[in-house]
Structure 1
Amino acid sequence: MSAQVLREDRDGLCTLTLNRPEKMNALTVQMFLELHEHVAALEQQTDTIGAVLLRGAGRCFSAGNDLRDLAAGQPLPRPHLQAHTIDRLARLPQPVIVAVHGYCYTGALELALAGDLIATAQSARFADTHAKWALTPLWGMSQRLPRRVGDARAKEMMLLGRTYSGAQAAAIGLANFCFADDEFDAEVEALARELLAGSWFSHRANKRLLLETDGLPLEAGLAHEVFRNAGKGPDMQERIAAFGKK
């Protein structure tokens, strides 16, 4: 049986690809098991992997949860496997870019929301359809979506189940970047390389600061930044010297 999540490492970038193109990358228990294994490995590879790119094979990122899996009530090998995997992905030390083309519905949107940066193609389609199927979120939608787009817009998406284009997703802050379809792959690659050009130390430290201070009052957050920051990176002197030579 072929892998449902592929991994490719190149020049510090790890690309994880959802690999059920014939099923529009519908999310299965097996897919989450494989994704969890990759995430667990990446947590220990900060010296060699500076950023992670998550995307889908074929025509779309993912059409969402596999409804046949859902209807069959397939038992999970551990409680809340999907929610735990998504949370672990969101908390990776390395920054995570999610590249969305085609469909990104419901469970797939919950997965995409684990990204630090979301890049979308113009023709992409985003939606939360939990209400269509008489379901409620279990993988983080109610928490991550309002933190990204605000409470009012999150209610709109969750209650009405409307579909949003890539351009609309960028306009409401759901996506950070919207690229033309014919330029999407090249633009995503350029974005990843731009990210990797920064200090990997700083990226990890900044991401950790944001995670650790999320929800804190301003005074407590400022104190955390001052007294619990990671300090200077091992590449600081090299970067300053290189700048001085320009």
Structure 2
Amino acid sequence: MLVTVERDGAVAVVTMNRPEAMNALSRGLRAELAAAMEAVNADPAVRAVVLTGAGTRAFTAGLDLKELGVEGLGAANAEEALANPVKAIELCAKPVIGAINGVAITGGFEVALACDVLIASENARFADTHARVGIMPGWGLSQKLSRLIGISRAKELSLSGNFLDAQTACAWGLVNRVVPADDLLAVCKQLAADMATADPGMVQAYKALIDDGFALPFGEAMALEHARSSSANAQVDKGEVEARRLAVMERGRTQQG
């Protein structure tokens, strides 16, 4: 199998499984990834997802360029989730945590940016080699990266093709934190489990609000929040809110220890 799915309670771990090819995104892997993401999204028992790559060398090295030479460049810009792994991830309404275990290169970098949260092992490295390979990005890298780390840093990476190490990626705000390689999956699964304990409908609606607002100018995003919150909050049961408030306070006490 080119993509595996393992369940740990309400958390699904989706693994790109071509370690011998640095988890390169072949047509088969892209199709299996799309199917896996669709399945976990449709499964009500899954509340959060961890996405990673098999082995220690690569999260994914991006498109399989040998295969791409046969398919042609049109495959790289496909809008359908079956061919476009970024679209497959973005269509998942549940939180997706990227466990970056090794290199995330070019198309692999774009796959990482499709995740909601990135946590990197000390072995992780990022590179955008589109300019060096001679292919324009088609999965969002040219627009997402500058919004995450600033336009100057994005240009430094994209126009040089240089690698970015995990600690610098963390300092630049690309990843949330860097952990020892042996701890990566456990840390990501724990964070996913934390997200899974919140009301799934609320989590999914909040994720959509953040994503939809991020794509808008600030004023329009604020108006979007006002409209959605007004509609949603008008239906809230005060008794449920109070019970949840008490549960939040108790959870906070346990996290202080």
TM tier, smaller: 0.7 to 0.9
* C-alpha contact (below 8 Å) 2:11/2:189 kept by paired residues: no
Q: Secondary structure at the match of 1:9?
A: strand
RMSD over aligned Cα, in angstroms? 2.5
Q: Secondary structure at the match of 2:59?
A: coil
Q: How big is each residue's C-alpha offset from its partner over 1:20-48, in whole Å with a ceiling of 9 and x where there is no partner?
A: 11111111111111111122233333x32
Could you tell me how far apart the structure 2 residues matched to 1:44 and 1:168 are?
A: 36
Q: Secondary structure at the match of 2:226?
A: helix
- The corresponding residue for 2:18 is 20
Cα deviation for residue 241 of structure 1 reads 5.1
Return the letter of the residue paired with 2:185.
D
Q: How big is each residue's C-alpha offset from its partner over 1:40-87, in whole Å with a ceiling of 9 and x where there is no partner?
A: 233333x321111100111221122212112222685x9444674412
Return the letter of the residue paired with 1:187.
V
Q: Secondary structure at the match of 1:43?
A: helix
Could you tell me how far apart the structure 2 residues matched to 1:35 and 1:233 are?
A: 37
More helix by share: 2
Q: Which runs of 5 or more structure 2 residues have no equivalent in the other structure? A: none
Q: Which runs of 5 or more structure 1 residues have no equivalent in the other structure? A: none
- The corresponding residue for 2:130 is 130
Give matches, 1:67-146, under 5 Å: 67-73=65-71, 76=75, 79-81=78-80, 84-146=84-146
* C-alpha contact (below 8 Å) 1:117/1:175 kept by paired residues: yes
Aligned length: 242
* C-alpha contact (below 8 Å) 1:202/1:233 kept by paired residues: no
Return the letter of the residue paired with 2:64.
D
Give matches, 1:190-209, under 5 Å: 190-209=190-209
- The corresponding residue for 1:239 is 244
Cα deviation for residue 136 of structure 1 reads 1.1
- The corresponding residue for 1:48 is 45
Pair 1:40–1:187, CA change in 2 (3 A): closer
* C-alpha contact (below 8 Å) 1:53/1:99 kept by paired residues: yes
Question: TM-score, with normalisation over the residues of structure 1?
Answer: 0.87
Moved more, 90-99 or 227-236: 227-236
Return the letter of the residue paired with 1:240.
R
| Aligned-pair identity (%) | 33
Say whether residues 1:186 and 2:183 are aligned partners. no
Pair 1:91–1:238, CA change in 2 (3 A): farther
Could you tell me how far apart the structure 2 residues matched to 1:213 and 1:112 are?
A: 20
Cα deviation for residue 236 of structure 1 reads 4.4
Question: TM-score, with normalisation over the residues of structure 2?
Answer: 0.84
Moved more, 160-169 or 194-203: 194-203
Could you tell me how far apart the structure 1 residues matched to 2:78 and 2:61 are?
A: 23
